[in-house]
Structures are given as C-alpha cells and as structure tokens.
Amino acid sequence: MKILVTGGSGLVGQAINSEKAMSPHHKFTFLTSKDGDLRSLDICRAIFTTHQPDIVIHLAANVGGLYKNMKQPVEMLNDNLEMNSNIVKCCKEFQVIKAIFCLSTCIFPDKTTYPIDETMLHNGPPHSSNAAYAYAKRMLEVQCAAYNKEYHTNYMCIIPTNIFGPHDNFHLKDSHVIPGLIHKAYLAKQSCKPFTLLGSGRALRQFIYSNDLARIILYLLDYYYDSEPMICSVGEQDEVSIDTVARKVAKQFDIDDIYYDDTYADGQYKKTASNKRLLDFFEKNNIDFQFTPIEKAIEETVKWFKDNYDTCRK
C-alpha cells in the first residue's frame, strides 16, 4: 500500500519514519511543509495527484503549548480547520481506502467525570485556554463521522495524550511542556542560572512517547477495521504532575533545585483518559505492547536534544 504521511518532518511523522521497518509491506511518503501549504485545496489536490495514496496518515497541524494556544487562537482555529477539511475532501476525491487523523485529548470537555473515554468527546466545551484549537480538532472528528456515514469511507481518529520525543519543537515559549522544560534545563545548566517552572507544577498529565505512538499507528493501519475514535495513552495510573516531570528532566541535567513562577497559569488541572479501547485492541489482535517508561523516554529525548541542539526546532 502507498501511504501518505502529512506532517512528516514533525514529532510523530519522524517517529513513524523511524519505526516503519515493522511495516515493510507499505511504501511511505512523508510530506513536509516544503511540499506545499495544506491550507490550499488546490495544493492538496496537486499533492494527491502526484502521490495517488491508498492510505493517508494526517499529522500536519498548527500545534503548540498552553501559552501559544492562549496567544494565537485565531491562527490555531483557522489553520487547522482549513488543513483538516482539505485533507478529508482529497481523501474522498482520490478514493483513499483508509485514513487516520490525529486529534488531542485537549478536545475533551473541561467539566467532566474521569476517566474520560471516547464516548464523552462532545459532552461539553473544552477548557478555555485552548478552545480554538480544540474545536478545530473536534470538527475533524465530526467531518470523519459525516463522511463515513454518507460515503461509507473508512476514516478514523486517534486521540493521543501529551506526546513528546526526539524531533519535537523545543521552543521556549511555543512548545509543549516536556520539550520546553528540556530546553530550559539545558540553558539553566549551561549558564548556571535557576531552572524555573512556569506555574505551580500541580497540573496532572498523561504522556506518551512519540515512538510508542508511531508503533500504535502502524498496528492500527493493519489491524483496526473500525472507524470509532481511539484514545492513545498510557494508563490512568501513569498520570503524573508537571512538577514530577520537571524533576525527571532536571535529573538528566544534574539540577537539584526547581523554582516556580506561579504568576503563570496551569491550564486545565487534569485530563485523565482511559486507554481501555486501546488495550482491548491489543488483546484482540494478540499484540504484546509495552509502553516506554517515562524516565527512559525523557532520557532518550534529552540525549537527542543535546546531540541535535544546533539544528533542532527551538
């Protein structure tokens, strides 16, 4: 099968590229922003005409951490609505037989009960801090369901929890929490200045290593025939505080003290998600899947960041 991966130079796209040997029967093409602006339907059509994909994995998005979402809601909304709509249209137009679309657990309601599962997606508004991005991603699930209903397509959405790993965006202001902390700790160590955590550190999150998510996606390509969304996450018992994560990052740099700037917002306190549907999928298909322990994943990410400091996104 010919598989077209959008966002191929990003965090998850690079991870799929590194894990693709487990799917030797597929031929992968990894698109980057240099291949064209997916916000243009004409450019999307030209890309699909060139590559004629059988399967699409849509990872491209305008993404960022809490503070980027709070500063740029219009861009987060419009860019993602346009990209997603164009890719869905082209999947239908070019008769793609299967498509996997990547959402985020930030799309779930702010006021809810825990753990969150896939049936609760539209039960209320998301947290105000990232509402624009969250609604754009929610609409992608609505689009997929509508196309599946009317045209009998096979489009499904995965909903990962907080992803991190090599090839992440380590920007000090616009990144997600772990790559941002890694970059801050690196600079603190280099300059002998304090390692400062924005916020109280009390917020809770589930993190998934990018290579683990890549392997899950490759399994879904071959063994998942449903169109229902699926949360891709470590278990509820593996939810950790941002403070705990910061300490694990600090340990990699031999930093003992963390300073807290609680003038910054924490965002949503928790987003505890159930991975029961994912575990049932593994069991049904006799897949012995082991998540990478967060300590090892952070260690590998820090090593990659140090080795690629001069050229990585930051």
Does some domain include residue 83?
yes
pLDDT digits (tens, 9 = 90+) for 126-166: 988 888 999 999 999 999 999 999 999 999 999 999 999 99
Cα distance between residue 292 and residue 195, in whole Å:
26
Q: What is the pLDDT of residue 269?
A: 85
Does some domain include residue 52?
yes
Domain that holds residue 66: 2-168+206-236+271-292
Residue 214 maps to which CATH number? 3.40.50.720
Query: How many domains is the chain built from?
Result: 1
Task: Write the burial class of residue 224 (CB in 10 Å: 0-12 exposed, 13-18 middle, 19+ buried).
Answer: buried
Q: What is the pLDDT of residue 68?
A: 80
Does some domain include residue 55?
yes
Taking 50 as the pLDDT cut, the residues of the chain under it are: none
Does some domain include residue 250?
no
Does some domain include residue 201?
no
Q: How many Cβ atoms are within 10 Å of 40's Cβ, its own excluded?
A: 14
Does some domain include residue 224?
yes
What amino acid positions are annotated as catalytic residues?
A: 133
Does some domain include residue 117?
yes
Q: What is the pLDDT of residue 115?
A: 94
Backbone conformation region of residue 124, classed left if phi is above 0, alpha if psi is from -120 to 50, else beta? left
Does some domain include residue 158?
yes
